[in-house]
Every structure is written in structure tokens, then in C-alpha cells.
Amino acid sequence: MGLRRIFTDQDPALHKVCRPVEKFDWRLRKLLDDMKETLVDAEGVGLAAPQVGILRRVVVVDTGEEILELVNPTLVETAGEQCGAEGCLSVPGKYGLVKRPNYAKVRAQDRDGNWFEAEGEELIARCFCHELDHLDGILYTEVMERFLTDEELKADEA
């Protein structure tokens, strides 16, 4: 186990398309363990491998009940729409207004290579879309309507 450094949006790793995972070996297990530890430490909702400098299609998402490990994930179904505040551990201190589906279902492999599906609404759906975008080198700042102002953020906290 170990904490990994979280790269910020200035780093080229965050703007590249990640390659699929082919080997379900100890390196993948170590990456997933480290990403989960790093996510919990940073108090985030999701983390994608390129955010720790690894250009592979790996994501972890905290659903509130468990931390999902998504290897080679794809969106298989979306529905509805939500527009709200979104942040990213790689864009510290900022939040943007981003339109996302209100429901999303992903298909992914677990650390042993077994395929499964996971679904979620609202924050989880938003997180699935945000993290999968990372795997294609896309940050929310590229798809957002605009950044939220300090006043709007303060109003959110109140």
C-alpha cells in the first residue's frame, strides 16, 4: 500500500488517451490498492489512473458504501440530465457547472479480469462520467458550462 502523488491539470499525463489493461497481475492490484488509499486520503469521490501518472484504463469510485474498482470501464447506458457543481482532485480549489446524465451504467472488469456492471444516479452517475472522461484525456474544465464563482461556492456551503 502507498499514497501516490496526484498530478494537476498542467501535467501532460492528464491530457492523453489511456491504454486498456491487459495484464491482471500484481502491478494492477498494487495500483488499485494505492489508488484507493490515495482517494480516501484526498477525501475524493473518484480517481482515475492518469491522475497518478499511469496511462491505463483504471478508475476507483467511492459510492459511499464501497470503493468500486473499474478496470477497462465503458458507459453502457445513460438517462436523464443533471446540471451541477463538479470538482476534480487534479484541479484543486475550483468547481465548475457541468451537465451530466442523471443515471449511468458502466461495464468494467474487476482486478481478476471478471466483467461486471455497476450503476448509479446523481453524484455516482456524475462521477462515473467524470472519471471515464479522464481515461480519454478529458477534464471537466473542457466540458463545463463555466467555473462557479466564489459567491456561488459560499452559498453552496451555507
Catalytic residues: 131
Residue 33, judged by CB atoms within 10 A of its CB (0-12, 13-18, 19+), counts as: middle
Kindly state the helix (H) or strand (E) to which residue 76 belongs, with its residue range.
strand 67-79
Shorter beta-carbon distance to Ni ion: residue 28 or 88:
88
Q: Does 98 bind Ni ion (CB under 5 A)?
A: no
Helix count and strand count (H, E) for the chain: 3, 8
Question: Which of these ranges, 69-77, 83-91, 94-102, 114-122, lies near Ni ion under the rule CB under 5 A?
Answer: 83-91
Residue whose CB is less far from Ni ion, 88 or 106: 88
Provide the sign of the torsion angle of the four alpha carbons 121, 34, 7, 92, taken in this order: positive
Question: Which residue in 32, 35, 61, 88 binds Ni ion (CB under 5 A)?
Answer: 88
| Minimum distance of Ni ion from residue 141's CB (angstroms) | 10
The nearer residue to Ni ion, 18 or 88, going by C-beta atoms, is 88
* Cα–Cα distance for residue pair 3/52, rounded to 1 Å: 10
Q: In the complex, which residue's CB is closest to Ni ion?
A: 88
Region of 2-10, 86-94, 102-110, 121-129 interacting with Ni ion (CB under 5 A): 86-94
d(CA 78, CA 80): 7
Residues of this chain that bind Ni ion (CB under 5 A): 88
